[in-house]
Amino acid sequence: MSGLDDIQYSRDETISAVRRYYTFLAKVYLNESEIVEPPAGGWPHIDNLRSMGKTDEVYDLLRHLPYLRETSIETPQAAPSCHFANWREIAQYASLSPASGGDGHGHRLCSEPPELIDRIPPCVVGLTYGGRENPCFLLDNMRDIVHWYECKGTIRHNLNNDTTNWVAPVTDMDDPFDWDIPEGEAEWRLECPAWSVPDFFNILRGQFHDLKFVPVSSRVVREVYAGGWGNSPVVLSAVQNIYRRHGWPDLATFRKQECLRAVRRTLREEFPDFLIRDFGEEDGEEDEQ
């Protein structure tokens, strides 16, 4: 990748990048029915989020993005411990609860780092939504880049030199302090690496390809990094081997459903202490077939 000057914002390309990522996840572990596409005119109710104080271009983007469906069981993770924001559902709920709709600050606290919230400009919106442990991805809708807040150094710098699809962050080549932005904003942008939108999602895909992000059900993803497996390399290796035996990483031959059933059986029978708390009803039913 080259510098920021070579990246130009395209709403349609940003939408396509998100859609391609969700389509990829559906080939790996996600139920395809969990992906919801906007109607021709875009999602209604998005304007209920105006109290967040974002730009018109941000709301236009949110109106036309695909989202992952909210369910009564658990919203599927799109990366380890990571729930992407479903701004369609949030806006729809806001239409039913005006008090919630007016809580733009609350929505921002759930999608942006609280300690940075006063330094995040209106052109930046969170792609994720949740508690403190939920990873935070910040899309700059004006520059067409995504900042990864508290990105692990191993990923940011490709310390092992073995990551598929890795490219250097644009913020490592184009100093934010040279941008026409306030100093406080430049500080967090430099600290939080950013990639172009397509490169960012390619890096996430690369983590799955290399089995550094490892789905253990149709909704739950774990990672190889510290704490992701209770620091148990035995469990990690067992699950990675299951994926390889089922054709991974060749998507043309990968047997998704068989693989997920085998992962669940292995965790339940050999590593019950590592069994995920709530797999969801579909996984349990598939396992018995």
How much is the pLDDT for 188?
97
User: CA–CA separation, 50 vs 89, rounded Å?
Assistant: 15
Contact of 129 with 84, CB cutoff 8 Å: yes
**98 or 77, which is more confident:** 77
Burial of 74 from C-beta contacts in 10 A (0-12 / 13-18 / 19+): middle
How much is the pLDDT for 165?
87
Res 7 pLDDT > 50? yes
Res 98 pLDDT > 60? no
Residues 6+ apart with CB under 8 A from 281: 73
How much is the pLDDT for 283?
45
User: CA–CA separation, 90 vs 130, rounded Å?
Assistant: 12
Mean pLDDT for the stretch of residues 145-157: 94
Could you tell me the pTM of the whole model? 0.91
pLDDT band at 108 (very low <50, low <70, confident <90, very high): very high
Mean pLDDT for the stretch of residues 188-197: 96
CA terminus-to-terminus distance, the chain: 47
pLDDT in tens, 264-289: 999 999 888 776 544 444 444 444 33
How much is the pLDDT for 278?
42
How much is the pLDDT for 132?
80
Res 197 pLDDT > 70? yes
Res 133 pLDDT > 60? yes
Res 228 pLDDT > 70? no
User: CA–CA separation, 277 vs 114, rounded Å?
Assistant: 28
Cβ neighbours of 180 (radius 10 Å)? 5
pLDDT in tens, 39-93: 999 999 999 999 999 999 999 999 999 999 976 557 899 999 999 999 999 998 8
User: CA–CA separation, 65 vs 85, rounded Å?
Assistant: 11
User: CA–CA separation, 64 vs 51, rounded Å?
Assistant: 19
User: CA–CA separation, 243 vs 246, rounded Å?
Assistant: 5
User: CA–CA separation, 263 vs 216, rounded Å?
Assistant: 6
Please name which of 171, 167, 166, 168 lies closest in space to residue 191, comparing C-alpha atoms. Answer: 171
How much is the pLDDT for 286?
45
Burial of 182 from C-beta contacts in 10 A (0-12 / 13-18 / 19+): exposed
Res 1 pLDDT > 50? no
How much is the pLDDT for 3?
65
How much is the pLDDT for 254?
98
Over its C-alpha atoms, the chain yields an Rg (Å, rounded) of 19
Mean pLDDT for the stretch of residues 187-215: 96
Q: Which tokens belong to 21?
A: 């990522």
Indicate the range of 89-103, 167-181, 223-237 predicted with least confidence. Answer: 89-103
